[in-house]
């Protein structure tokens, strides 16, 4: 993992950089995803107007199975950046691409005139002098806040420590994962700053257990739980309780159900799964 004095939390990953130096992590779960990253990549690159920097994809997550992760950034309940604690990156392929990135970045005679946008993938230099894959979290006049996408560190660096990403650097998929909360919507058509701030206060830097329910346009819809002294808290239900979100409307199924022993409404199934999970937790306490 990448280490420096500013890293407050660290989790041992099985990925290491292609040199003898320690590699960037702030923030240990299951194979067999039903949604492949190749499908993600294909869908994103075919979308009109999507730049190479915005077309990065995450590692596969298993659907409907618990996965421990660290929340690195909350932009809204519809976009959270999380870092799965178990390494899911192909280590050998990652080392190869990191060597390619190093050659590309150190071969530049002068830093390019480059200003990335929030959410862009990029090449970013860490304090160890090595170059890694990063994703832009914030942009200011002279610096950029970067999440090192395969290790979990967050650093603020000058523009001189960034290079535009090449499409070949986006494979293998990144450990950093984009998520949205499943089953909830804004109470008034759009998420309020208060709702986003409350969610950030609740989750930023915290370890959570999430379950991926589905994936669309590179973003996983997840249910999320956080352990507390009093028990396990369902994040979505907490927002609803405070009036900062409401349950998504279940659209009635108007067709003929093809199953003999239950409704085939997918949204209802997800609701039932969530309630069963909560009930199981209550019975265990």
User: What does the alpha-carbon distance between residue 144 and residue 257 come to, in Å, rounded to a whole number?
Assistant: 52
Bridge pairing between strands 162-164 and 66-76: unpaired
Q: pLDDT tens string for the chain (285 positions)?
A: 676 544 333 333 334 444 433 456 555 332 333 444 544 444 444 444 579 999 999 999 999 999 999 999 999 999 999 999 999 999 999 999 999 999 999 987 677 889 999 999 999 999 999 999 999 999 999 999 999 999 999 999 999 999 999 999 999 999 999 999 999 999 998 999 999 999 999 999 999 999 999 999 999 999 999 998 888 999 999 999 999 999 998 665 555 555 555 445 566 677 777 777 777 766 666
Of 80, 70, 73, which Cα lies nearest the Cα of 28?
A: 70
pLDDT at 246: 95
Tokens of 207: 């370890």
pLDDT at 1: 60
pLDDT at 117: 96
pLDDT at 218: 92
pLDDT at 229: 85
Q: Which residues pair with 154 in a beta bridge?
A: 147
Residue 223: CB atoms within 10 A of its CB come to 24
Phi first, then psi: give them for residue 282, nearest 5 degrees: -65, -40
137-158 pLDDT per residue, tens: 999 999 999 999 999 999 999 9
Contact criterion met (CB below 8 Å) for 152 and 88: no
The DSSP line for 72-93 is EEEEETTEEEEEESS--S-HHH
Of 81, 118, 119, 89, which Cα lies nearest the Cα of 208?
A: 81
Counting beta carbons within 10 angstroms of the beta carbon of residue 260, is it exposed (0 to 12), middle (13 to 18) or buried (19 or more)?
Answer: exposed
Contact criterion met (CB below 8 Å) for 223 and 274: yes
User: Which residue in the block uniquely carries the two structure tokens 């995450």?
Assistant: 58
Domain-wise residue ranges, the chain: 249-285
Contact criterion met (CB below 8 Å) for 163 and 122: yes
Q: How far is CA 196 from the centre of its chain?
A: 16
98: CB partners within 8 A, 6+ apart:
17, 18, 130, 131, 132, 133
Contact criterion met (CB below 8 Å) for 173 and 57: yes
């Amino acid at each position: 993992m990448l280490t420096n004095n500013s890293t407050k939390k660290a989790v041992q990953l099985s990925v290491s950089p292609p040199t003898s130096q320690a590699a960037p992590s702030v923030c240990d779960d299951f194979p067999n995803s039903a949604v492949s990253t190749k499908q993600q990549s294909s869908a994103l690159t075919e979308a009109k107007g999507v730049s190479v920097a915005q077309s990065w994809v995450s590692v596969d997550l298993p659907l409907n199975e618990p996965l421990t992760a660290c929340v690195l950034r909350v932009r809204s309940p519809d976009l959270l950046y999380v870092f799965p604690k178990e390494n899911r990156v192909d280590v050998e392929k990652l080392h190869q691409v990191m060597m390619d990135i190093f050659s590309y970045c150190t071969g530049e005679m002068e830093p390019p005139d480059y200003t990335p946008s929030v959410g862009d993938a990029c090449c970013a230099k860490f304090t160890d002098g090595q170059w890694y894959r990063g994703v832009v979290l914030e942009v200011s006049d002279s610096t950029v806040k970067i999440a090192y996408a395969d290790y979990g560190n967050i650093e603020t660096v000058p523009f001189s420590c960034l290079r535009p990403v090449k499409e070949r650097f986006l494979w293998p998929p990144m450990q950093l994962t984009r998520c949205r909360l499943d089953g909830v919507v804004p109470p008034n058509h759009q998420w309020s700053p208060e709702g986003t701030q409350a969610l950030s206060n609740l989750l930023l830097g915290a370890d959570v257990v999430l379950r991926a329910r589905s994936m669309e346009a590179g973003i996983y819809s997840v249910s999320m739980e956080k352990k507390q002294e009093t028990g396990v808290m369902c994040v979505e239900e907490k927002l609803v309780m405070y009036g900062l979100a409401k349950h998504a409307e279940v659209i009635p199924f108007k067709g003929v159900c093809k199953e003999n022993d239950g409704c085939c409404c997918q949204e209802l199934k997800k609701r039932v799964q969530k309630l069963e999970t909560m009930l199981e937790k209550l019975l265990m306490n």
